[in-house]
Amino acid sequence: MPMQPWFPDAKLGIFLHYGIYAVKGVPESWAMYQGQLSREDYLAQLNGFTAANYDPKAWAELFADAGARYAVLTARHHDGFALWDTAFGDLNVRQTPAGRDLLQPYADALRERDLKVGFYYSHSDWTHPLYASVRNQGEATWVNDNRFVGPPEGQPDDPAAWEKYLDYRDGQVGELMDRYHPDLLWFDGEWERSEAQWRLKPLAERILAANPQTILNARMLSYGDYATPEQGVPILPPDGPWELCLTVNDSWGFQGHDDNHKTVRQLVRYFVETIGAGGNLLLDVGPREDGTITAPQAERLRGLGAWIRRHSEAVYATVAGLPAGHHYGPSTLSADRETLYLMCFDTPRETIGLRGVRNQIRKISVLGSGEELSHHADHGLHDVPGVKWIKAPTTEDAYATVIAVELDGELDLYRGTGRV
Ligand code: GLC
């Protein structure tokens, strides 16, 4: 299946890590794995998970305000806790005071606002009784004898139990497909088994039989549609479609002590660097156990959205802009490749120098204010185009000023070294 066009056009998605880990505000699943809490204390959080103020309509409104076009919610993380009343496995919303399916209202609320629906789902499940039944065939020697992951030393693999575990996983994924018809499935946890052990081929076939347009992330290994760099804009962008997942503070889920929130200016920067290199940003928030999103996170989302609204022409449905070296900052390019959007994080002084562009320029203006900018060009030599010196604007955006450069046709770039 070729990539669904909505995905590269969307640019911004919101990632939600919502689960029982929000009750004590500990790292999602990892608090148990790494021993911060015993398994018993970790699972005791089931009793405190109320979803008392769960209002996915308010989420959807906030995400639309942020300028997002899709969202991805943790249907089930590595701790095995399912946010819906699944018929497979014992650990789900029915065992909590929340006591009801949380996924259908989420899917409905997003769709009402024309947002695409995504679910995160972990292949691994550290509390399922059959999960730790086999060793990872992808590991040269068995190093990880963690009790959550595989059988203890000396105990043989139990392939029949493993097959049953996979039936459970497939049953849950089948439910997600048949009940909620997601546009995107965001898998994780794949590193603990080999591709063959994960039985990914029939899983991918099952998903695509239910909806051939479902987008799958790279953690479906060979069946993935796009790359998923995490927590840092790649210096060299991956080939093909990709999406950077990034936390607003330093935590995926709610952790009350974590106040290291990125500023709106930093988020605008992450966002523009990502889309300028052809990617999407999947910006993560961690709701409290009652379902509310904290004020600092909501403010960051709204701040980013306000910048996007002022510059939507340079954002949605654009493609990656200039490679490094032509402009000191990221840029995007209109889908018809005839308008360049140059991003300026700092105040330009005197001029902005645009290098290696062969086209004539029709018009230059500042997005938002409409201020028109003049330019003059150096002569250049043979096929080496001269620098185009764009007059510095007098109107500026508080976070990133966008200069729209309308070309006389499709972008024609000089990529050479000169006469050496
Ligand atoms: C990391 C975290 C995991 C989180 C994921 C999101 O792998 O360990 O908890 O869900 O990032 O990409």
In sequence order, what DSSP letters do the residues of 26-53 get, joined into one string? --TTHHHHTTSS-HHHHHGGGGG---TT
CA of 327 to the centre of ligand 1 (A): 34
**Predicted local confidence at residue 140, as pLDDT:** 59
Statement: residue 145 has pLDDT above 60:
no
Amino acid occupying residue 337: R
- What is the atom index within ligand 1 of the atom nearest the CA of 17? 10
Residue where one domain finishes, among candidates 259, 289, 310: 310
Q: Which domain holds residue 37?
A: 6-310
CA angle at 27 for the pair 26 and 33, rounded to the nearest 5° = 110
pLDDT for 44 equals 98
Q: Indicate if 280 and 389 belong to the same structural domain.
A: no
Residue 344 belongs to domain with CATH number:
2.60.40.1180
Does residue 280 sit in the same domain as residue 390?
no
pLDDT tens digits for range 46-60? 999 999 999 999 999
Same structural domain, 274 and 379: no
CB 254 within 8 A of CB 287: yes
If we measure between CA atoms, which residue out of 19, 172, 8 comes closest to residue 96?
Answer: 19
pLDDT score of 420? 77
Cα–Cα dist 212/204, whole Å: 10
Looking at the domain assignment, is residue 28 inside a domain?
yes
- Report how far residue 200's alpha carbon sits from residue 210's, in angstroms, rounded to the nearest whole number: 15
Instruction: Give the distance (Å) from ligand 1 centre to CA of residue 12.
Output: 18
Rounded to the nearest angstrom, the distance between the alpha carbon of 2 and the centre of ligand 1 is 27
Q: Tokens 């996983």 identify what position?
A: 169
Residue 146: the pLDDT is 76
Residues 6 or more apart in contact with residue 382 via CB below 8 angstroms:
419
Please check whether residue 22 is in contact with residue 289, taking contact to mean a CB–CB distance below 8 angstroms. yes
- The C-alpha atoms of residue 418 and residue 200 are separated, in whole angstroms, by 50
Q: Quick one: which H or E segment has residue 20?
A: none
CA of 246 to the centre of ligand 1 (A): 10
- CB burial class (10 A; 0-12, 13-18, 19+) of residue 205? exposed
Q: What confidence tier does 1 reach under pLDDT thresholds 50, 70, 90? A: low
**Is residue 91 in some structural domain?**
yes
Residue 184 lies in a domain: yes
Domain match, 197 and 104 both: yes
* Residues facing 73 on adjacent strands: 16, 119
- Tell me the CA–centroid distance for residue 30 and ligand 1, in Å: 9
Sheet arrangement for strand 351-354: 351-354, 388-391, 375-377
Tell me, yes or no, whether 416 lies in a domain: no
Structure tokens at 155: 């105990």
Q: How far is the CA of 252 from the centre of ligand 1 (A)?
A: 7
Residue 360 falls inside a structural domain: yes
Q: Could you tell me if residue 16 is inside a domain? A: yes
Q: Which of 28, 83, 252 to mutate to test the pocket of ligand 1 (most atoms within 8 A of CB)?
A: 252
How much is the pTM? Answer: 0.97
**Residue-level pLDDT at 137:** 85
Do 100 and 166 lie in one domain? The reply is yes
Of 265, 287, 310, which residue sits at a domain end?
A: 310
Cα Rg of the chain, angstroms: 24
Overall average pLDDT of the 61-88 stretch? 98
Let me know whether 335 and 402 are in one domain: yes
Q: Are 243 and 227 in contact (CB under 8 A)?
A: yes
Measured in angstroms, how far is the CA atom of residue 211 from the centroid of ligand 1? 26
- Residue 122 is predicted with a pLDDT of 98
Same domain assignment for residues 96 and 221: yes
Ligand 1: atom nearest CA of 78 is 9
Q: Which pLDDT tens digit goes with each residue over 254-308? A: 999 999 999 999 999 999 999 999 999 999 999 999 999 999 999 999 999 999 9
Nearest to 272 by CA among 344, 351, 373, 367: 344
Distance from residue 325's CA to the centre of ligand 1 (Å): 33
> Do both 268 and 126 map to the same domain?
yes
Domain boundary pick from 264, 289, 310: 310
| Pocket probe mutation, ligand 1, options 230, 282, 285, max atoms within 8 Å of Cβ | 230
* Ligand 1: nearest atom to the Cα of 29: 9
Mean pLDDT of 322-327: 96
Residue 383 pLDDT grade (very low, low, confident, very high; cuts 50, 70, 90): confident
Do 275 and 332 sit in the same domain of this protein? no
Mean pLDDT of 55-79: 98
| pLDDT surpasses 60 at 142 | no
What are 342-380's pLDDT values in tens digits? Answer: 999 999 999 999 999 999 999 999 999 999 999 999 998
Across 199-211, average pLDDT: 97
For residue 154, what pLDDT is reported? 85
Q: How many domains does the chain have?
A: 2
Q: What percentage of residues in the chain have a pLDDT greater than 90?
A: 91
Does 211 lie in the same domain as 102?
Answer: yes
Measured between alpha carbons, how far is 331 from 341 in angstroms, rounded to an integer?
5
Quote the pLDDT of residue 312: 98
> Are 131 and 189 in a shared domain?
yes
Atom of ligand 1 at shortest range from CA of 27: 9
Identify which of 29, 36, 188, 231 to mutate to test ligand 1's pocket (most ligand atoms within 8 A of the CB). 188
Contacts by 259-267, CB closer than 8 A, 24 or more apart: 259/296, 261/296, 261/297, 261/300, 262/300, 263/300, 264/299, 264/300, 264/303, 264/304, 264/307, 264/399, 265/398, 265/399, 267/300, 267/303, 267/304
Residue 419 included in any domain: no
Confidence at 153, pLDDT banded by 50, 70, 90: confident
- Which of 52-61, 76-85, 233-242, 304-313 bottoms out in mean pLDDT, i.e. has the lowest? 233-242
In this structure, what CATH number is given to the domain that contains residue 176?
3.20.20.80
| Same domain flag for 91 and 26 | yes
Q: What is the mean pLDDT of the chain?
A: 96
Nearest CA to ligand 1 atom 9: 28
pLDDT of residue 408: 97
Q: Which residues line the pocket of ligand 1, CB cutoff 6 A? A: 28, 188, 230, 245, 252
Confirm whether 417 is domain-assigned: no
Note the pLDDT of residue 147.
80
Q: In what order do the strands lie in the sheet with 401-407?
A: 319-320, 331-333, 339-344, 401-407, 361-366
